[in-house]
């Protein structure tokens, strides 16, 4: 299955990209995706406890199953100011 990943702010700096297509096994959920991302970019793991994840422009829990061609946005905490 293929998903479209979007990275924002400091996460874009860590990954070196703002968008990438990612192949993952069918039936995977957000948690499985994040763990795969941590393997590719270990520095992302430092943000694990505060990451926000949205799928198809809606915030989701980590137990949310992914679906073919979904858009997954991975964001650091929102900061005001």
pLDDT tens per residue across span 16-43: 999 999 999 999 999 999 999 999 999 9
Using CA atoms, how far apart are residues 63 and 28, in angstroms rounded to an integer?
A: 9
Mean pLDDT of the chain: 95
- Specify if 35 maps to a domain: yes
- Specify if 10 maps to a domain: yes
pTM of the model: 0.93
Alpha helices, H only, the chain: 10-15, 30-40
Q: What CATH number corresponds to the domain at position 8? A: 3.10.20.30
Using CA atoms, how far apart are residues 29 and 41, in angstroms rounded to an integer?
A: 18
Domains contained in the chain, number: 1
- Specify if 81 maps to a domain: no
- Specify if 62 maps to a domain: yes
Q: Domain of 49? A: 2-75
List, for residues 37-78, the tens digit of each pLDDT value. Answer: 999 999 999 999 999 999 999 999 999 999 999 999 999 987
Whether 8 contacts 78, CB under 8 Å: no
């Amino acid at each position: 299955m293929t998903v479209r990943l979007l990275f924002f702010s400091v996460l874009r700096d860590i990954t070196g990209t703002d968008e990438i297509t990612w192949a993952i096994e069918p039936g995977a959920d957000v948690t499985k995706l994040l763990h795969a991302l941590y393997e590719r970019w270990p520095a992302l793991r430092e943000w694990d406890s505060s990451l926000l994840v949205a799928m198809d422009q809606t915030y989701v829990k980590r137990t949310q199953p992914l679906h073919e061609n979904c858009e997954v946005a991975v964001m650091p905490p929102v900061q005001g100011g």
